[in-house]
Amino acid sequence: MNKIYNPKREDWKSILKRPTKSVADIESTVNTVFDELQKDGDATIKKYTEKFDGVSVADLLVTDDEIVEANSLVAIELKEAILLAKENIDKFHAAQKTESIEVETSPGVHCWQVKRPIEKVGLYIPGGTAPLFSTILMLAVPANIAGCSEIIMCTPPNKEGKIHPAILYTANLCGVTKIFKVGGIQAIAAMTFGTESIPQVYKIFGPGNQYVTVAKQIATKYGVAIDMPAGPSELLVVADDTANAEFVASDLLSQAEHGVDSQVILVTTSKAMLESVEKEVELQIEDLPRKDIAQKAIDNSKLIYLEDDQTAQELINEYGPEHYIVCVEDEGSYLSAISNAGSVFIGNYTPESAGDYASGTNHTLPTNGYAKQYSGVNLDSFMKSMTFQKISKEGIQEIGYAIELMAEAEGLQAHKNAVTLRLNSLDDE
């Protein structure tokens, strides 16, 4: 791993750079697929599924028979684990429900806010090097709690043209409306425009590789909302001598195995901890089935030593990690200082894996520094707020003159007239 000691502040930007391609490198490929799919629909999906996934798919829609078969193939122990995770995720997201608010801002002026579900949502579930059925829990569970009426899911097929049984089992368990065998750019384009088989949606959720991330960003140009620009996974751990080096190394590797473009960073005020973690990473990586993937990610990762806590806290906020593990003696100081992070994990016994699967928090989080301005997926991600107002005769008299003055000052006479006519009608009574 790359070891860096007391980096100068002016070097932080280059040190903390993510190992991702720029949008410009990928955008032309994405635009080509989008343009073709707008014209040729399902034919384009099948063309690029064969090109990118190496499989020819006759029917894009997963059938009921396939779901029944998948249900029989998932081990009972795994089903029980998925059910436990679903229960915790349900509890945490159901607790995020809020009541409507109503305020009388002036006498006779009543304003209130109500939340309504987004009717049609699309879920993208990666399935390339790992079948991420856990992401279905993170997206479909809050979508159902919110009351979304149509929940469409796209996930890439394997070389046999099938979907992993655990993905189908979980999707069916969580109330997904329709499941389609399509991944990558073509999946995002299909949910953006709609095709003969796949419905158009209003908002697209879910992580993916860099091509999926760019495709989601381009989808916004066509009037479709997205959860966030969620790309390759990343983790930053801050640890001092009170941390367990073995645990820290396991957390770093848990993110490194996601993909070759993942990034993991250790920030520490202890040189001894830095050296111990490096040794543990070297030991533990040898036993990983996904060693080759993890090793490439580790090659892009950093071990950073800083002399004091305040500088460490400032560097962490500058990075804005997707996942942030805090294993230090003075954890309160680090927790109060953090402004930019997707999800925070505290103490030696809180692995990032817990948030990925079963603690209850959501694992669909902002990456690539977007934690500075985006939240992770939550219940409100699947809802929109609508405001209402009702003004009585007393109310329009209370605020009408102010409206007239402001409208006139902006040069909007029709706005003023809409109030003046009402006020005059009351004067005539």
Question: How do residues 193-228 score in pLDDT, each as one tens digit?
Answer: 999 999 999 999 998 888 998 999 999 999 999 999
Write the pLDDT tens digit of every residue in 227-246: 998 778 899 999 999 999 99
DSSP character at residue 19: S
**Is the domain of 94 the same as that of 162?**
yes
The answer as to whether 384 is a domain residue is no
Boundary residue ending a domain (171, 202, 230): 230
Question: Does 29 lie in the same domain as 14?
Answer: no
165 plus 245 within the same structural domain: no
Same structural domain for residues 46 and 78?
A: yes
Pairing of β 120-124 and β 109-117: unpaired
Check whether residue 313 and residue 254 sit in a common domain: yes
For residue 289, tell me if it sits in a domain: yes
Q: What is the CATH classification number for the domain harbouring 404?
A: 1.20.5.1300
pLDDT digits (tens, 9 = 90+) for 5-54: 999 999 999 999 988 766 777 899 999 999 999 999 999 999 999 999 99
Distances (CA, A) of 281 to 74, 325, 350: 32, 16, 18
- pTM of the model as a whole: 0.93
Is 429 annotated as ligand-binding? no
Residue 374 assigned as binding residue? no
Residue of 234, 257, 280, 322 marked catalytic: 322
**81-109 pLDDT, tens digit each:** 999 999 999 999 999 999 999 999 999 99
pLDDT for 351-390, tens place per residue?
999 999 999 999 999 999 999 999 999 999 999 999 999 9
Task: Identify whether residues 178 and 244 lie together within a single domain.
Answer: no
Number of domains in the chain: 3
Residues 116-126: what's their mean pLDDT?
A: 97
96 is in an annotated binding site: no
User: What spatial distance separates the first Cα and last Cα of the chain, rounded to whole Å?
Assistant: 82
pLDDT band at 128 (very low <50, low <70, confident <90, very high): low
Whether residue 386 is contained in a domain is answered as no
Residues 243 and 337 in one domain: yes
Domain edge (last residue) among 187, 211, 230: 230
For 121, residues 6+ apart whose C-beta sits below 8 A from its C-beta are 143, 148, 150, 151, 152, 201, 202, 203, 204, 205, 382
Is 93 marked active-site?
A: no
12 and 29: one domain? Answer: no
Q: Between vectors from CA 70 to CA 66 and to CA 73, what angle results, nearest 5°?
A: 145
* Residue from 234, 257, 278, 323 carrying the catalytic annotation: 323
Contact 372, 152 (CB under 8 A): no
| Residue 210 sits in the same domain as residue 239 | no
307 included as an active-site residue: no
Regarding whether 75 and 200 lie in a shared domain, the answer is: yes
Please compute the mean of the pLDDT values over residues 253-281 and round it to a whole number: 96
- Torsion 319-325-326-327 (CA) sign: negative
**220 and 335 part of one domain:** no
Task: Evaluate the CA torsion angle 49, 50, 55, 61 in order and state its sign.
Answer: positive
Do 7 and 50 lie in one domain? The reply is: no
Whether 373 maps to a domain, the answer reads no
CA distance 144 to 302: 40
Is there a domain that residue 370 lies in? no
Last residue of a domain, one of 360, 386, 415: 360
Print the domain residue range for 121.
23-230
11 is in an annotated binding site: no
Q: Please check if 363 is assigned to a binding site.
A: no
Average pLDDT, the chain: 95
With respect to residue 381, please indicate whether it lies within any of the assigned structural domains: no
Using alpha carbons, select from 160, 153, 238, 145 the residue that is nearest to residue 199.
153
CATH of the domain at 325: 3.40.50.1980
Is the predicted pLDDT of residue 129 greater than 80, yes or no? Answer: no
Sorting pLDDT into bands at 50, 70 and 90, what band is 428?
A: confident
